[in-house]
Structures are given as C-alpha cells and as structure tokens.
Structure 1
Amino acid sequence: MVSLLRTIRNARRVGLREWWRQLNYIGDAKSGKYIGSDQFGNRYFENRNGEEEVPGRHRWVDFAQHDFNATQVPPEWHSWIHHIRKEPPTNDSVVQNLSPPWKAPYIENLTGTRGAYKSYNTVVPKINAWDPKVKARA
C-alpha cells in the first residue's frame, strides 16, 4: 500500500506525462531535485526525503537515449551516484579543476555496436583454404 501511495504522490508531483515516461523507462515513479546534466544530455536527480525512497536509491539518472547502458554515465557522475563523492560534479571544486592529462573527451563503450574497435590483422593465416589447380587437357 505504501508503494501505491508513493506512486500516486509522485505522479501528482511530476505530472502524468513524466510519470508515464518514468514507468516505461526506469520502471518506477520518482520525484526529486534536479542536480545537473552531463555532455550526453543525461539528467541527474536526488531525493533526500528518507521515508519515500529505499536507502541507497535516492540518487538516479534519467538517460537521454532510449537505448541506454551504464557506460553512458561519465566517471564523475558515476562516483556521485554511487556515493563515492558527497558533492555532485557541478558543486565539487576538485572535479571541476580536474582535467585528464591527455585532454580526451569521455566516450561510451561501443562494444557490440557498429562503432566498436576492430583491429587490423597482420598475421599470415596458418591454414589456407584449398585452391584446386586445374590443368588444361590436351
């Protein structure tokens, strides 16, 4: 019954359209404070109301893409969601001043997609297919 009341309460807070989208995408109706977004367009939320959320599940990400996976969450937001860092990257001065030495932007893992890395094979095959040689008849 508590779950039903929580679902109805969150539907009233976020509106029917957002509530229906959340049920289809994340399987739960959540309402919370908007914290920030990343370069992929993902939005991050937090609900500090302890009586409504299961402990440890009060921070969540709303993915921008329909086909999403966990590698679309950058490391700085991952550390905030999993309580490694207390402050979100938008408020954490350490994360804002941190830049990787190679200056490469973060990209998601593309394994299993068309953009996956495929190495170039330079090794001569050990087994060659049989190619029959046919001599002309006299």
Structure 2
Amino acid sequence: MSTFLKQFFTWWNGNQLNFRFHLWRNAEKVGEDEFGNVYYQGGKDSEGRPRRYVVYTDISEPSLIPPGWHGWMHHKTNVAPPSAAYEAYEWQKSHRPNLTGTVSAYRPKGSLHHTGERPRVTGDYDAWSPGE
C-alpha cells in the first residue's frame, strides 16, 4: 500500500493528510528527535497555552517520545530539547521500547511465564474458599 493511501485512510501509520494540512497552515516546526519524530507548535488550547503536536516517523507510537520532548509536549517545560538552554536531568533515561507481549517482557517471580518454579506458599497464607 502506498504511503499516500496509508496516510489517507489510517491514523496509526503516520498522520492523516488533513492533520498535515492543519500543521502546514497553523504551526511552526520546533525540532526533531533521534527517532525522526517532528514536533510543532501553533495556535492556543482552551487554557491559552500553545498547542503542541508530534508527527511520528512511521507508526503512531507515543512511547517513542524521548523524555525531554515528553516534558515539552505536556507543558512541563517551555524549553524544547533542540534549544541551547535545554539540559537533560541525570535521572532521565534513554528510550526503551515497550516489550509487553514479547519474549523479552518483564516476568517477575511468581508469574506464570517466569522460568523456573513458583515460590512455595508460606504458613502465613490462608486460602479463601466459598461458604466460609
């Protein structure tokens, strides 16, 4: 399927054409992140703050927004990461994809999918049974 048709008929493959037309008329480009997502700002929201938008590179995946851009998108800061005044905090981690549903997903002890045996129930546990 061509890129044009994907953008015309689906919202999860990039952005629809009407959204891009809106950005072209009402927003200015602020920057781009390491994943190729492009960030825009333009217009005002209901609280009088500037509207902020992201155009994803490929599939619309909000977990691909890096921490600095996430703070800017949600109005936690007015300094966007490409700005010289932007400084990342030491506790900010680089992006890791959501691995839920994959072989690499987190599986704590006691999980049915955890390798090995489940821990034994200790004496401080009383099983509930109906009618008690």
d(CA) in 2 for partners of 1:123, 1:69: 35
Which segments of 5 or more consecutive residues in structure 1 lack a partner in the other structure?
Answer: 1-16, 127-138
d(CA) in 2 for partners of 1:22, 1:74: 27
How many equivalent pairs are there? Answer: 101
> 1:11-90, aligned counterparts within 5 Å?
21=7, 24-25=10-11, 26=15, 28=19, 29-31=21-23, 32-47=27-42, 49-50=43-44, 55=48, 58-66=51-59, 68-90=60-82
**Amino acid of the structure 2 residue aligned with 1:117:** A
Tell me, what secondary structure is at the counterpart of 2:29? Answer: strand
Distance 1:99 1:23, change over 3 A: farther
TM (normalized to structure 2)? 0.56
1:121 CA displacement:
1.8
Greater fraction of residues in helix: 1
Tell me, what secondary structure is at the counterpart of 1:58? Answer: strand
**Amino acid of the structure 1 residue aligned with 2:117:** V
Distance 1:115 1:74, change over 3 A: farther
Tell me, what secondary structure is at the counterpart of 2:22? Answer: coil
Q: Is the contact made by 1:22 and 1:30 (CA closer than 8 Å) also made in structure 2?
A: no
Which segments of 5 or more consecutive residues in structure 2 lack a partner in the other structure?
Answer: 108-113, 121-132
Greater fraction of residues in strand: 2
- TM superposition outliers: structure 1 runs of 4+ over 4 Å: 53-57
d(CA) in 2 for partners of 1:107, 1:46: 26
In our comparison, the structure showing a higher alpha carbon Rg is: 1
Distance 1:39 1:121, change over 3 A: same
Give the aligned CA root-mean-square deviation in angstroms: 3.5
